[in-house]
Amino acid sequence: MRSAPADETREVARAAAQWLALLESGRAKEEDHIRLQNWRASKDSHERAWQKAQLLRQRFAGLPAALAMATLDRPDTARREALKRILGVTALVPASWLLAWQLPLDVWRADLHTATGEHKRVVLADGSLLQLNTDTAVDVDLAARLLTLVRGEIALKVADSKTLTIQAPYGRIRLNSSDVCMRLTERECRLSVASGVVQVQPLQGPELILGEGQQVGLHPGGAGTVEAFDPLLPGWREGVLMAQDQPLGDFLRELSRYRPGLLRWDPALEALRVTGSFRLDNTDRVLALLAASLPVEVHARTRYWVTLSPRKQSV
């Protein structure tokens, strides 16, 4: 018979639930985010509970965070039974209480998700290839020929001549027989065209036509300047992060998107240059390669709290 989880495991799960509820309530302050990072990095069990919480957030989209998290320390069979009971209970909970604990519904309810560091390839019913990068959420409505980028980054290669639309917070694009990448950040939605021609309609301003090798940033106020497309940027589609004489700071900021936990570095390392192709399925190895090729030391308090510093000169 499977033994009950230890009290410590339950306490860690409960703490993860409380952190999740605080962050998603919208009341968390900057010091709360710092305290959460410290809690996650202090023990591997804390980070595992937090990552499990993120997966449950996606799986149990219709539940309040605390109720979904109550199943963290249960085996899968017990979890299913617990959820049946929870679903019955939620009908009796006041709607105002539920709303206070809910996670972002657009991310919750998206059709496709990836976790931090995960990459997903999906062949749509029309033969188009959709790829989701790390920490991404997408809605798919093929009946309406519509994809909605809710979060993160996608690549889409449309297989036929029928027009398909990608909707994003700062505009929409229409394409057929084309290959594009789209990345959503807090400041913009960047569209890059690897092949074909696409129509771009920003929230403000006139429609644009982008061709192969071009990219543009969409913002709340309209479109930015059309620029040349960097062919190294979509290496993630093949599970690779590529750099050509790139500042180390920029490289690490990109690498941190694929790592759970905290990655920090001494500002003195920002200007070092990086060149190479690095597999994203093992970011610990990427850090080891950086330490082997650059005057850098890697200090891991845990796998989820890593700091890079200049290598000390031997006497």
> What sign results for the dihedral spanned by CA atoms 13, 17, 22, 23?
positive
- pLDDT at res. 64: 45
Closest CA to 299 of 269, 257, 271: 269
pLDDT over 70 for what percent of the chain?
77
Residue 150 has pLDDT above 80, yes or no: yes
225-253 pLDDT per residue, tens:
999 988 777 889 999 999 999 999 999 99
Tell me the mean pLDDT in the region 123-136.
Answer: 93
User: Residue 49 has which token pair?
Assistant: 């509970």
Summarize pLDDT for 52-99 with one digit per residue, the tens: 776 665 554 444 444 444 444 444 444 445 444 443 433 333 333 333
Predicted confidence at residue 4, as pLDDT, reads 40
Phi-psi region of 75 (alpha: psi -120 to 50; beta: other; left: phi over 0): beta
Query: Which of the listed CATH numbers 3.30.1330.120, 3.55.50.30, 3.20.20.70, 3.40.50.720 matches domain 239-310?
Result: 3.55.50.30
Reported residue count of the chain is 315
3-class secondary-structure state, position 175 = strand
pTM for the full predicted model = 0.69
Distance CA 244, CA 286 (A): 15
Average pLDDT over residues 292-304: 91
The DSSP bridge pattern shows strands 171-175 and 273-279 to be unpaired
Chain centre to alpha carbon of residue 163 = 27
Strand partners, 211: 197
Return the pLDDT at 107.
61
Q: What is the pLDDT of residue 7?
A: 62
What pLDDT, on a 0 to 100 scale, did the predictor assign at position 44?
Answer: 84
Q: Where do the structural domains in the chain lie, given as residue ranges?
A: 7-104, 112-228, 239-310
- Name the CATH topology of 112-228: Jelly Rolls (2.60.120)
**Which residue matches tokens 């290839």?**
129
Report yes or no: 186 and 167 within 8 Å, Cβ to Cβ.
no
Q: What pLDDT is attached to residue 25?
A: 60
Q: Residue 23: left if φ>0, alpha if ψ -120 to 50, beta else—which one? A: alpha
CA pair distance 178, 197, nearest whole angstrom: 6
Kindly report the average pLDDT of the chain as a whole number. Answer: 81
The Cα 287–Cα 305 span in angstroms is 13
pLDDT > 90? residue 157: yes
Q: Which two tokens stand for residue 147?
A: 């994809």
Position 98 scores a pLDDT of: 34
- 314 pLDDT band, cuts 50/70/90, is low
Here the tokens at position 122 are: 């999906």
At 15 the three-state DSSP class reads helix
